[in-house]
A and B are shown apart, each in its own frame.
Chain A
Amino acid sequence: MAQSNTEPILNQKSIQLNLGTQGIGAEFSYGVLPNLALRAGANFIPFKANDIFKISGFNSTSHVSADFYNAHVLADFRPFETVAWLRIVGGVGYFFKANGKVRIIPSDDYKYGDLVLTDDQIGYVDLNVDWKGVAPYIGIALARTFPLGKFNVNLDLGTYYLSKPKATIIGTGLLEGNSSQTQQFQSNIKDYRWLPVLQINFNYKL
């Protein structure tokens, strides 16, 4: 039976696959009240890229990686009975892995006086940030929670507020002393706690 605009969502169930800024994931949704559904799921994003991070005046290559794995429980609240396509979403996620890492490697043939240094002698600098922990989520969702038929697509737009990041700098070789810059890095990164979520969900009604 088709769901009307005002049809309550109580006891409806769906599973969804999603894709967005927090990676890919899956969720199970269940209507617990006429205007409230709960969903539980998990997302992960393993991300790697090269040379997208530059330090001004320092010729280098960079390897960037980010791993965000979370499990979450969200509540979808439909605030207006006549506007079934709009939901306010709130909840909490646990990021059991949430780290970003940038490895900076000098790219020039570095000479020290008349000596040409090897890669090991020069070394590299790792900038690590870890947001592991509990993160509340708030956002909105567009389009219906549960399909009118068997299948629909909807959208999440929101943000996680991540745990206070722990930042470190580790250097090797001639760059070993860069660990002294950890405090400054920690200060620079301390406000990087918002993980924006723009996510498309593909739902299948059970």
Chain B
Amino acid sequence: MYRIKLSVLALVLLTLSACKKPTENIQIVIDTDVIKYTAMINVTDGTNGNAAPSNAVITISGAAAADIYELSGKKDIHLNAGMVTIGLHPNVVPKASEPIKITVEITASGYNKAAKEVVFTADQKQQVVDISLIRTGSTTPPVVTPPPPVYNTTSLTFTGRCPSRPDIQVRPSVYVYFRKAGTSAPFQYLDYMDKGYISTKLLALNETYEFQIVYGGETYKISQKIEQTSYNLTIDMPAACKF
């Protein structure tokens, strides 16, 4: 009888030993690339290359204006730090023979109105549209920021963190800007981050950089000293966590 009890006890213990929850520490990963055809509108003050003044207003017009949304899916489109990413409704796809055109107009007190046509084509899912504002009455042409120098390739993997939802992780697909940390230089375009991943040749070793993304009308920044060829960076993105 003792042997029987021992056998049953052994079986129960063996079975229970596997009781770790299968979903323990597993996060739900959510992508942000709902809007596939996007354009980063980067508005700067033409006199110094800095971000457009905070009172700058963006207006979208044209036949396809109703199909334009901010990258986070909002219909409310406004600039933050002179930047906003706009794009086509996910159900609207430009055809090779029929690009979709809109006009982006920027107005700001003390500056001339500026307008630029943005064309969404079938073969180009991302584009950067730079718009420089000229002060009213100024005859000085806008400053042209030289392209940044080229270095070895560095890979950055960004994970968007939801402060209020630790069970959710965001893989951002956004336009990334950068500048050397500790400077007041204007942010320059680094590259498009696709599903959290970006590979670039614009970062120098042993330099510390500030990275900036604008998403959902909010600006998010993170700094990193570049000492190796790849980094995993976590950035708070509460605007991407509103489910």
Contacts and interface: CB of A to CB of B under 8 A. Distances in A.
Interface in B83-126: 89-90
Main secondary structure of the interface of A (DSSP, over half): mixed
A180 B33 CA distance: 17
B26 A185 contact: yes
B171 A177 contact: yes
Interface stretch (A9-17, A38-46, A113-121, A146-154): A113-121
B114 to A, nearest CB: 26
Contacts, number: 101
B30 A175 contact: yes
Given A113-B75, A121-B34, A178 B28 contact: yes
Contact of A113 (B30, B167, B169, B216): B216
A140 B216 CA distance: 63
B29 A177 contact: yes
A178 B29 contact: yes
Contacts of B167: 55-58
A181 B72 contact: no
A192 B18 contact: yes
A191 B18 contact: yes
A4 interface: no
Contacts of B14: 159, 194
Interface of A: 55-58, 79, 86, 88, 108, 110-115, 117, 121, 125, 127, 139-140, 157-159, 169, 171, 173-178, 180-181, 184-185, 188-189, 191-194, 196
Given A115-B90, A185-B22, 11 more contacts: A56-B167, A88-B7, A121-B34, A140-B7, A140-B8, A159-B14, A178-B28, A184-B24, A191-B18, A192-B18, A194-B14
9 contacts: A112-B72, A112-B73, A115-B69, A125-B28, A177-B30, A181-B26, A191-B17, A192-B22, A194-B14
